[in-house]
Amino acid sequence: MQAHEMMIHDVYKVMETDSVRAVIKKFIEHRISGVPVVNHRNEIIAYVSDGDIMRYIGKHKDIFVDSLYTVTVFKGDNEEFDERIKKILDLNVLELAKRKVEKIQSHKEIEEVAAILGKKRIKKLPVERDGVLVGIISRGDVIRNTFKSIL
């Protein structure tokens, strides 16, 4: 089975000119955790996930990691945190998104899709044809399509 046979064709995506606010709205509206970032030609130029946003939120001065298992949070001003969150919403999506995007061509076999998702430890893989976004495949899509005929 090839990628185009199992991918989701109607892909939620954001434009390279969108703000983080637009990304968060998509996440909430559609109950998703990541989207490809495309340019005006629908070419994949980045990918932004909830993890990227969490890492950005966590980049502030009142957290200190003592060890692998100990995190100390210094009590700061809640208003200061709220202000940082508001500023994040107005950032351009490319300030948080990963520019090196794992993606796969639409004609690739399911084994290659599974290998990339597993090895790279990612949840979703954008699918492209002729350099343009045409779909997306999740780990769940691979599991369903691999085992549905034998269960």
Beta strand extents in the chain (DSSP E only): 14-15, 34-38, 44-49, 63-65, 71-73, 104-105, 124-129, 132-138
Output the pTM of the full model.
Answer: 0.82
> Residue 69: what pLDDT?
54
- pLDDT, residue 65, reads 47
Cα separation of 35 and 15, whole Å? Answer: 10
DSSP 62-79: TEEE-SSS-EEE----HH
Closest listed residue to residue 133, CA positions, set 1, 4, 2: 4
Q: What is the pLDDT of residue 63?
A: 46
Class for the domain spanning 3-147 = alpha beta
pLDDT of 116-137, one tens digit each? Answer: 999 999 999 999 999 999 999 9
Share of the chain above pLDDT 70, in %: 86
> In this predicted structure, what is the pLDDT of residue 7?
94
pLDDT of residue 25: 95
Q: What is the pLDDT along the chain (151 residues), one digit of tens a residue?
A: 999 999 999 999 999 999 999 999 999 999 999 999 999 999 999 999 999 998 888 775 454 445 555 544 545 556 677 777 888 899 999 999 999 999 999 999 999 999 999 999 999 999 999 999 999 999 999 999 989 878 7
Domain assignments of the chain as residue spans, ordered by start: 3-147
Helix (H, G, I), strand (E, B) or coil at 35: strand
Q: What Å distances lie between residue 46 and 2, 3, 34, 101, 109, CA to CA?
A: 23, 20, 11, 6, 23
End-to-end, the C-alpha distance of the chain in Å comes to 17
Contact present, 45 and 38 (Cβ < 8 Å): yes
| C-alpha distance from residue 70 to each of 59, 63, 67 (Å) | 17, 11, 5
State the average pLDDT for the chain.
Answer: 87
Tokens encoding 59:
């980049």
